[in-house]
Amino acid sequence: MNDFAKQCNHIFDRIVALYHTTDNVDTPLNNPFTDSPITAKLAQKCWIDAVQWHLEDIIRDEHINPTAALALKRRIDRSNQDRTDMVEEIDSYFRERFADVKPLADATINTESPAWAIDRLSILALKIYHMREQTLRTDATPEHIARCKAKLDVLLEQREDLSTAIDQLLADIAAGKKYMKVYRQMKMYNDPDTNPILYGNKK
């Protein structure tokens, strides 16, 4: 799985650019990465993130209609669940991929699963796109442009470091030096059986 992170970054950059061809949260994904199940999932994951990024922008409009804001909050909640579900599907791919690897006696566990690290790569692609956009503004002050250029440099360095760490983690799992142990997300706020507001309304 050499350069898996590089493949992810290519997909994420392409999907973020594709989203901005319409820049509309209601545009459906016409997935250009259907050559394999994992590339398709990575593209879908990034599309969810891109849409949610812009939903978060919209809901922060100080003049938004309260009814529209509530509908958007509900949509963001659903998007968060979709994002979590997709991360778990990507982790399932890795678990299957490394199913035959026997961990070494001194193998250690990582602080996060491969897919949750890849989730951060997807968000970084969005941060980089929008920070670069800020550096190209013609209506902003030179000071603003300089600050955004400095932040962009940090984001690019962060992506390089995270990409290296992801590829190393995958190599270590493949070699038995690390092992995967995935804890399914147990979100309670949108579960009618665990959110007291929701199950209280049933009475």
Instruction: List the beta bridge partners of residue 108.
Output: 178
Out of 35-44, 51-60, 185-194, which region has the weakest mean confidence (pLDDT)?
Answer: 185-194
Residue 109 lies in a domain: yes
Q: What is the pLDDT of residue 202?
A: 64
Q: How far apart are CA 35 and CA 42, in angstroms?
A: 12
Out of 125-129, 143-147, 197-201, which region has the weakest mean confidence (pLDDT)?
Answer: 197-201
Gyration radius of the chain's alpha carbons: 19
Share of the chain above pLDDT 70, in %: 93
Q: Does the pLDDT of residue 64 top 80, yes or no?
A: yes
List the end-to-end C-alpha distance of the chain, in Å, as a whole number.
52
Q: What is the pLDDT of residue 183?
A: 72
Q: How far apart are CA 136 and CA 117, in angstroms?
A: 29
Residue 174 lies in a domain: yes
pTM above 0.85, yes or no: yes
Residue 103, judged by CB atoms within 10 A of its CB (0-12, 13-18, 19+), counts as: middle
What average pLDDT does the segment 130-154 reach?
A: 97
Q: How confident is the model at residue 2 (pLDDT cuts 50, 70, 90)?
A: confident
Q: Evaluate whether 118 touches 42 at the Cβ level (below 8 Å).
A: yes
Q: How far apart are CA 116 and CA 187, in angstroms?
A: 15
Task: Give, to the nearest 10 degrees, the angle between helix 114-135 and helix 66-97.
Answer: 130
Residue 65 lies in a domain: yes
Q: How confident is the model at residue 192 (pLDDT cuts 50, 70, 90)?
A: confident
Residue 87 lies in a domain: yes
Q: What is the pLDDT of residue 8?
A: 98
Split into its structural domains, the chain has a count of 1
Q: Does the pLDDT of residue 36 top 80, yes or no?
A: yes
Q: How far apart are CA 61 and CA 97, in angstroms?
A: 44
Please indicate whether residue 9 or residue 192 has the higher confidence score (pLDDT): 9
Q: Does the pLDDT of residue 197 top 70, yes or no?
A: no
Q: How confident is the model at residue 42 (pLDDT cuts 50, 70, 90)?
A: very high
Q: How far apart are CA 124 and CA 130, in angstroms?
A: 10
Q: Evaluate whether 165 touches 172 at the Cβ level (below 8 Å).
A: no
Q: What is the pLDDT of residue 56?
A: 96
- Is 34 in a helix, a strand, or coil? coil
CA 183, 186, 188 angle in degrees (round to 5)?
Answer: 165
Q: What is the mean pLDDT of the chain?
A: 93
Out of 10-19, 51-60, 176-185, which region has the weakest mean confidence (pLDDT)?
Answer: 176-185
Whole-angstrom CA distances from 147 to 34, 58, 136 are 38, 24, 12
Residue 199 lies in a domain: no
Q: What is the pLDDT of residue 194?
A: 74
Q: How far apart are CA 43 and CA 47, in angstroms?
A: 6
Residue 193 lies in a domain: no
Q: How far apart are CA 80 and CA 94, in angstroms?
A: 22
**What domain range is 143 assigned to?**
4-188
What average pLDDT does the segment 94-116 reach?
A: 95
Ramachandran angles phi, psi of 178, nearest 5°: -125, 160
